[in-house]
Structures are given as C-alpha cells and as structure tokens.
Amino acid sequence: MGSVGALSVVLEGLLAGGCAGRGRRAGRGSALADIHWPSGPLAPPANTPAPPKPTPPSLVWNEPIQPRSSWAKGKPVPALMNRALPYTRITVHHDGMDRFRSTLRSDAADRLERIRHAHRGRRFGDIGYHYLIDPAGRVWEGRSLAWQGAHVKAQNENNLGICVLGNFELQSPTSASLDTLDRFVRAQMERYRVPTIRLRTHQEMAPTLCPGRNLQRHMVAARQRGGELVRA
C-alpha cells in the first residue's frame, strides 16, 4: 500500500464513529445495571494469528440475508480498509438519520445506499456496518466480513457492527426489527463465541446517543433477560 493509501486507512480509523446521530452521552437510564464493561479498547494479543475460517452462517442463521449486490451502487475501496481480525465483540447501532418506518424492500435498499454514500464521503472504504436490519425484519449484508468495520471510533478491531435502520431517539423500533435483532445477534454470538460482556451498544463505548434511547432500553433489558448468552 502506498503512503496515500496508508494515510487513508489511518483516517478511517480516526473518523469511524459509524452512526449519523451524535451528541453527548445519553443521560439517566443509559448505564447497564450490575455489569462492569471494560473501559478501553479491546486490543488483540501480540502476534495475532490469521483469522480462522468462520462457521458458515447457515449453521447458526438459516434465514435470508439480502446481499450487498442487491442495494449498493458503488464498489468497496480496499485501499481504504483494513483486513478483519477475528471477531471477538459485537456493537449495536441505529443509523441516526431521519425517522424510517417503511417495510418496502426498495426503500430499505435506498436507505442503505444513502448510508454508504455518506460513509464514502467521510473517506470510509465502504459502508461501515457489517449487517443492517430494516423495519420489516430483513437482514442486509453491509461491509464484507473480510474487512474491519468503521462504526466505533478507534475501536473497530475485532468488532462486528450491526445497525438497525431508523433513529431511535425519535421513534421506537418495530417489533419485527427487534425480533430479528435479538435472534440475529444471538446467532452471531454463537458463531464467533462472543460472551454477553462483549455485546455492547455504541453509546457504551463512545460519547454518542447511538443507538438512541428506545433501542438502548431494549438492549439493556435483553441482556439482563438473556444472562450469559454465550460463555467466554
């Protein structure tokens, strides 16, 4: 990689905040009760080996995933991305744009393309999230799993990014999107052996309102109900 490409990768890492909605850290009610989350980035051990071939998604998630080719109008730019390390944690987001309630497939595809276009405008190599979930409960492929995401500033290594479409400071998630989110996150936790303590939301890692108070509330309750979903 030339000096320009290397600088671009560094810029992506510094800029990567992922969600469009930003602001101060959410106030009362956003903290997780009785769970102590690591305070800093989870750095991979020295001499991290090449990532193992992941378990085929069909073994843990046998429902359709809408391919990137069905919505994206531009190709990824590998020179602006880093190769992914083994996934050891998961972060949940909202897209933080305007309200979004449509269950039409075409509207969801347009929304994803808007996000990709915005992320490319910030010198990301592609859309920052690996998966996105729409109001109808469909799962969409975002950035290839071969590439490190761009969704939490300075904490993208080993981090699988999952985004629910909508702004959950302004609206509530649909029951279909929450049902899919719960099941899909559990499937990815099983696939990558991610323990509950490494399942977070964006605002638990950075000063942002993402994923919005209504989705944050759901995530806190879901983790408390689920307990240690996958043991370390």
Determine the pLDDT at residue 40: 39
What are the CA-CA distances from residue 26 to residues 46, 192, 213 (Å)?
34, 29, 8
Do the Cβ atoms of 132 and 87 come closer than 8 Å? no
Would you say residue 148 has pLDDT above 90?
yes
Q: Round to whole Å and give the CA distance between 108 and 52.
A: 32
Beta strands 159-164 and 89-94: pairing type?
parallel
Q: Round to whole Å and give the CA distance between 71 and 205.
A: 29
Other Cβ atoms less than 10 A from the Cβ of 5: the count is 14
SS3 12: helix
Instruction: Place 15 in a pLDDT band, splitting at 50, 70 and 90.
Output: very low
Do the Cβ atoms of 149 and 160 come closer than 8 Å? yes
pTM to 2 decimals? 0.77
In percent, how much of the chain has pLDDT > 90?
69
| Residue appearing with tokens 């609206």 | 171
CATH homologous superfamily of 3-26+53-226: Peptidoglycan recognition protein-like (3.40.80.10)
Would you say residue 228 has pLDDT above 70?
no
In tens, the pLDDT along 32-80 reads 333 333 333 444 444 545 555 554 444 478 899 999 999 999 999 999 9
DSSP 79: G
